[in-house]
């Protein structure tokens, strides 16, 4: 089964409740919530009051992707705002093992995100502890970018490791997912597709989600 996680970064913020209801009524599995601090990535998205507002209307789990430095400072905050999954970037975490186990101790899913240049070799010794690996398929910071094809090799290589170790770790693909490439991304081994512009830019978002869900 493929999970679909529409990214609210591509929603119409002036009509956020309307866009959340559209996703509620769809076959989507998670809401993808992108938090950017303007330091780890060259953009600032939205913060806690907006996540609180999202949580009031969202009827599916919140998948919070922290694109921030020192994410350990904000785990409790996003947990209290209702996150069901929290992903931190390996590039922002010198003590990744500690933060992953802290997130899991809260009873929610822990994820690690890798920038496009980051090798999957760096997660070999933590893969058994994480619930989700987010392989960034664009440079984080902006929606609407083009999918980096090399990601397909990373997905396949990571899937091989996960299978060999008999793990249930989910591979999430984030950035540039579209109706023209989602099939090859799933075929390579992806379990979760984040989709921003391809959902909210579609004339019929519910239908676009259904198509990717298969």
Sign of CA dihedral 94, 100, 101, 105: positive
Name the segment binding ligand DX5 (CB under 6 A); options: 78-86, 117-125, 170-178, 181-189. 170-178
Catalytic residues: 34, 174
Q: Which of 2, 77, 115, 197 binds ligand DX5 (CB under 6 A)?
A: 197
Q: What is the DSSP letter of 169?
A: P
Rounded Cα distance between 33 and 47, Å, is: 10
Nearer to ligand DX5, 9 or 123 (CB): 9
174 scored as a contact of ligand DX5 (CB under 6 A): yes
Measured over all CA atoms, what is the biggest interatomic distance in the chain, rounded to whole angstroms? 46
174 scored as a contact of Zn ion (CB under 5 A): yes
Q: Which of 11, 29, 65, 173 binds Zn ion (CB under 5 A)?
A: 65
Nearer to ligand DX5, 108 or 193 (CB): 193
Distances (CA, A) of 64 to 72, 101, 137, 179: 13, 16, 17, 23
62 scored as a contact of ligand DX5 (CB under 6 A): no
Site string for Zn ion, 5-34 (x = CB under 5 A): -----------------------------x
Other CB atoms within 10 Å distance of the CB of residue 137: 27
Rounded Cα distance between 77 and 156, Å, is: 34
Site string for Zn ion, 84-123 (x = CB under 5 A): ----------------------------------------
Name the segment binding ligand DX5 (CB under 6 A); options: 121-129, 141-149, 181-189, 206-214. 141-149
Nearest partner of 67 among 16, 131, 134, 2, judged by Cα:
134
Nearest partner of 132 among 10, 8, 29, judged by Cα:
29
196 scored as a contact of ligand DX5 (CB under 6 A): yes
Nearest partner of 154 among 116, 186, 128, judged by Cα:
116
Site string for ligand DX5, 18-57 (x = CB under 6 A): --------------x-x-----------------------
Contact 76, 66 (CB under 8 A): no
209 scored as a contact of ligand DX5 (CB under 6 A): no
Show Cβ contacts of residue 49 under 8 Å, excluding neighbours closer than 6 positions.
none
Contact 128, 165 (CB under 8 A): yes
Which residues contact ligand DX5 by CB under 6 A? 7, 9-10, 32, 34, 65, 138, 140-145, 174-177, 194-198
């Amino acid at each position: 089964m493929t999970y679909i996680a529409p990214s609210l970064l591509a929603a119409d913020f002036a009509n956020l409740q309307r866009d959340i209801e559209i996703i509620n009524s769809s076959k989507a599995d998670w809401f993808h919530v992108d938090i950017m601090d303007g330091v780890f990535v060259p953009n600032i998205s939205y913060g806690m009051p907006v996540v609180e507002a999202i949580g009031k209307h969202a009827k599916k789990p919140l998948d919070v992707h922290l694109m921030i430095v020192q994410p350990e400072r904000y785990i409790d905050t996003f947990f209290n705002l209702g996150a069901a999954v929290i992903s931190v970037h390996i590039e922002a975490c010198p003590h990744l093992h500690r933060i992953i186990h802290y997130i899991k101790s809260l009873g929610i899913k822990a994820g690690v995100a890798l920038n496009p240049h980051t090798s999957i070799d760096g997660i070999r010794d933590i893969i058994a502890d994480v619930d989700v690996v987010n392989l960034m398929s664009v440079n984080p910071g902006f929606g609407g970018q083009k999918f980096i094809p090399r990601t397909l090799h990373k997905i396949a290589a990571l899937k091989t490791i996960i299978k060999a170790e008999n793990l249930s770790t989910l591979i999430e693909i984030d950035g540039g997912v579209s109706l023209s490439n989602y099939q090859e991304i799933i075929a390579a081994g992806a379990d979760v597709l984040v989709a921003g512009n391809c959902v909210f830019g579609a004339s019929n978002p519910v239908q676009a989600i259904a198509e990717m869900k298969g």
